[in-house]
Structure 1
């Protein structure tokens, strides 16, 4: 019998415990402050909800081909997992976790799973190759879809200045001049571009667990050990 995987949150809690041991108080406080600010501001933001119909959008694959939302949902629902950028430590925990616990079930059910970020290629594809992800990682050019969903946020001054001090450029993160990223988001999209489920995580260290996603897809009685 295989050992059930730990929850995604337990993996984040282990990372946060390590940060408390190893990060400077200033760095730790800054990281927590930005996440807390996003959580406080989130209830006032406007974003799509279940039942909304999206306008047509096209995503970009690493080989330069385009994939429309209608193509993704041509045979039924599709799952889109929005993440911040390839070098994001929390994203490098979430996507491998979904690869382990979610991807086998969705593959068995014939439901497409794609990860989406506004970061341009080729850097964006490094998260797929580094983690051996079994699902496509797609680019949302210039945050077009993310903004339409209402899931983006702007860096605060401290985060922007820290990124610039490290040599960062907004264009390398999202292809635009704005210091803006998508909040981690799980979106279930039905044919006709109808949103059936959306869960937005303003705190990037608190993300949607696999059982919640499977329930939204009507697959709550399935698990990765049976699908593998």
Structure 2
């Protein structure tokens, strides 16, 4: 796909490096367990709580969105083609998502400067959170083995979670970047 044809989107080079450790609270059902790629959250489970830095260095907690329906999505890396497509799709649909009562949070392992650049270049209108030690990815089962171009690799599993009142309502794993938001809107009953 030619990503330069997607309005307002461009794929730029990216660089990821470690930030100081950011603590995430362990999911009570998985505390002390080593979550593998086979461990998945299911609808009805308590959403793992977390506090991470956003692209501007501000602490953002899932608890900040109590009383709101929240979409938490995990993506591999800022400014890469698939992640740019997905982020721009959320950006372009943010008004209808908010009208239906949803807030959006994007989570990746990227450092804050990369997230800020990604937000600014793409005009993203929702928080991008940095999880450099992958603690939140792991708590949500969004990190592990996956197939990439026919090879098994370990990395971020593109995933989306709809959270309401601290509970996982809809867990989606191994989503496709292209068309994901349209599919999500349909599942949530949000008209086009």
Q: TM-score, normalised by structure 2?
A: 0.70
Classify the secondary structure of the residue corresponding to 1:133: coil
Do the aligned partners of residues 197 and 97 (structure 1) sit closer, same or farther apart at CA in structure 2, a change above 3 Å counting?
same
In terms of fraction of residues, the more helix-rich structure is: 1
Counterpart selection for 2:136 from 141, 145, 151: 145
Q: What secondary structure is seen at the aligned counterpart in 2 of 1:112?
A: strand
Greater strand share, structure number: 2
1:61 matched to 2:54: yes
The residue matched to 1:67 in structure 2 has which SS?
strand
What is the CA–CA distance in structure 2 between the aligned matches of 1:187 and 1:114, rounded to whole Å? 10
Q: Which residue of 2 aligns with 1:79?
A: 71
Conserved in 2, the CA contact under 8 Å of 1:78 and 1:189?
yes
Matches of 2:58 and 2:177, distance apart in 1? 32
Residues in 2 aligned to 1:57 and 1:146: alpha-carbon distance in whole angstroms: 10
The superposition leaves residues 65-84 of structure 1 with CA deviations (integer Å, 9 ceiling, x where unpaired) of: 21111212x22210112111
Q: What SS does the corresponding residue of 1:90 show, helix, strand or coil?
A: helix
1:83 and 1:114 mapped to 2: Cα distance?
A: 11
1:201 is aligned to 2:192: no
Q: CA RMSD in A?
A: 2.8
Change (3 A) 1:78 1:64: same
Indicate the residue corresponding to 1:115 in structure 2.
106
Looking at CA atoms only, which structure, 1 or 2, has the larger radius of gyration? Answer: 1
Deviation at 1:208, TM superposition (A): 5.8
1:115-173: CA deviations, max 9, x gaps? Answer: 111212111222211111121211124111110111212589xxxxxxxxxxxxxxxxx
CA deviation vs aligned residue, 1:16-36 (integer Å, no higher than 9, x gap): 9xxxxxxxxxxxxxxxxxxxx
Separation of aligned partners in 1, 2:125 and 2:112: 18
Residue range with higher mean Cα deviation, 181-190 or 107-116: 107-116
CA distance in 1, matches of 2:110, 2:76: 8
Superposed structure 1 runs of 4+ greater than 6 Å apart: none
Describe the shift of the 1:58–1:141 C-alpha distance in structure 2 as closer, same or farther (beyond 3 A): farther
Could you state the TM-score of these two structures normalised by the residue count of structure 1?
0.60
Query: Aligned pair count?
Result: 156
Structure 1: where are the runs of 5+ without partners? 1-13, 17-43, 157-178, 224-228
